[in-house]
Amino acid sequence: MGWKKIATEKNICPCGKGTYKAVWEKDEWNRVRTNFCLNCSHKRRGYDAYFYEYQVNGLWLTGFRWVESKVLKKARQFTLQSEFYIRRSKKLAEDRYLDRWLDFFSSKNKRQIWEILSQKMPCYCALPTFYRHVKKEGLTPYLIRFFRANNQNALELLDVKDKEIEELNVHARWFDKEAENLIFRRKSG
């Protein structure tokens, strides 16, 4: 089957001297993708489309903007730096607290575990979904996967305050914010 064009929109380039075209396509699985074409000789060289996700009333949307290539490159360097600090933070948390996490749940049944996790994470999955995940992969592997994906929440649940991990997370947030400031042309903080 493939992708089917569902909408096309022509817009004025941010410089005001040309246009760009947005084309929305949809496939048989209801996935949607957007392609952009910059038709402005003034801006074409040195600009790239930057895509980002944002939330409005619980609905995730994808936005985009044209960003100077050199600015986008610097922002991506900041993002890579942030990811480096996040990986270090997660590794440290796992090395220090994963056993404690597993011990915390060792004397609890599945429903108690689900209640604890769903109280900590308001958008956590429904009980039948939790049971399905645990049945498929096993309780311990599920708890390990949860810890790895949500280690800040897991550490809060364990009431852990680790200065070194928190410093790594602060650095990661700073680099993320700097990347965002560059892309959206805000003053650095």
The residue written with tokens 């910059």 in the block is 38
Q: How far is CA 114 from CA 11, 68, 144, 159, in A?
A: 48, 46, 14, 18
Q: Using 50, 70 and 90 to split pLDDT, how confident is the model at 84?
A: very high
Query: Cα-atom radius of gyration of the chain, to the nearest Å?
Result: 22
Whether residue 23 is predicted with pLDDT greater than 70 in this model: the reply is yes
Alpha helices in the chain (DSSP H): 41-44, 69-106, 110-120, 127-137, 139-149, 151-157, 163-183
107 pLDDT higher than 90: yes
| pTM recorded for the entire structure | 0.74
Give pLDDT, residue 43. Answer: 58
Average pLDDT of the residues of the chain: 88
Alpha-carbon gap, residue 130 to 47, rounded angstroms: 45
Q: Does position 65 have pLDDT exceeding 90, yes or no? A: no
If pLDDT is split at 50, 70 and 90, which confidence band does 53 have? confident
| pLDDT, average across residues 157-171 | 96
Report which of residues 180 and 13 the model is more confident about.
180
d(CA 39, CA 167): 45
